[in-house]
Amino acid sequence: MPAQTGRTVVVTGANSGLGYEATEAFAGHGADVVLACRRLDSGRDAAEAIRETLATGAEWASAPDDGSLTVMELDLGDLDSVASFAEGFGANFDDLHVLCNNAGVMAIPRDETADGFERQFGVNHLGHFALTGHLLEDLRASDGESRVVTQSSGVHERGEIDFDDLQHEASYDKWDAYAQSKLANLLFAYELDRRLDAAGADVTSLGCHPGYADTNLQRRGPEAAGSTLRLWAMKVANAVLGQSATQGALPMLYAATAEGIAGGEYVGPGGLLNMRGAPELQESNAASRNEETADRLWTVSTELTGVEYGLPNA
């Protein structure tokens, strides 16, 4: 991982799991990192823990001095909060070099965001769509190339964008809803890169997935459903099959910092069934590369969030 000194990075969901590990790595390599967290207290606890770790002199740190950590409130399930975060960021930072759209929810009982969206689609896709749009000028203001990295999942292969029932009001399956949101993440990532390229912007957009990583994400669904049996089953599966969150964060870090990587790429672990191992360039499924679907999703997302990018069609 190259030194990140002088670079500003935003990581959503930075208080735990993959976001926490990525934040520690960015800061250890000299970046000024904004921890974008729904709960400020959790974000502050995470920042303090990272500072304590870095103070011990992490062996992998390549910067002569650690970067800074700033905690800011961001609720991706509330478009007003997304806009407020972007305004606050712009008031305190001059530019943005890396935006990691990492936060998400997985396989939870049906719920709605503050704006009435099905929560998985609203948080995982629409919240990040709005956030990226609000921060686009900050990304374009940076010296040199900036990157947007959007976290997806291998489960995107199960996904289908149901334009007739995007909010899963007619019927709801928690895994179908999650898969739709993860497919939407990749359609967005690739369409964003095409539009940035058409605009001649020095910003690239990539997708990634962590494989099977042992994080709190898997536990939230069983906890929300009140299922002790499923919670214990998930804990066992994580212990037996999952790689560490540190390892799971590597595809996102690779997509964000690797030299010579092109926009529109997809990065994931290259080991067993693409569930674990070192990061490599991979191929997402054909549905994620469907430009007609991506263009329609972009239009719908703009209408739902009210966020305009001002970028030409690809």
| Residues marked as catalytic | 178
Residue ranges in the chain assigned as alpha helix (H): 17-28, 40-55, 79-92, 119-121, 128-140, 174-198, 217-225, 228-241, 245-248, 250-257, 291-305
Which of 69, 273, 286 is closest to 186 using CA atoms?
286
* β-strands 32-37, 279-282 pairing: unpaired
What six digits make up the tokens of 23? 């934040």
Cα torsion angle, 117, 118, 123, 124, sign: negative
Which of 298, 126, 31, 114 is closest to 14 using CA atoms?
31
* β-strands 266-269, 279-282 pairing: antiparallel
Burial class for 94, CB neighbours closer than 10 Å (0-12, 13-18, 19+): exposed
Which of 127, 131, 129 is closest to 114 using CA atoms?
127
CA 24/CA 176 separation, integer angstroms: 33
Angle at 96 between CA 90 and CA 101, to 5 degrees: 100
What six digits make up the tokens of 239? 């212990």
Q: Listing from the earlier edge strand, what are the strands of the sheet with 98-101?
A: 69-73, 32-37, 8-12, 98-101, 146-151, 203-208, 266-269, 279-282
Residue pointed to by tokens 């494989």 = 211
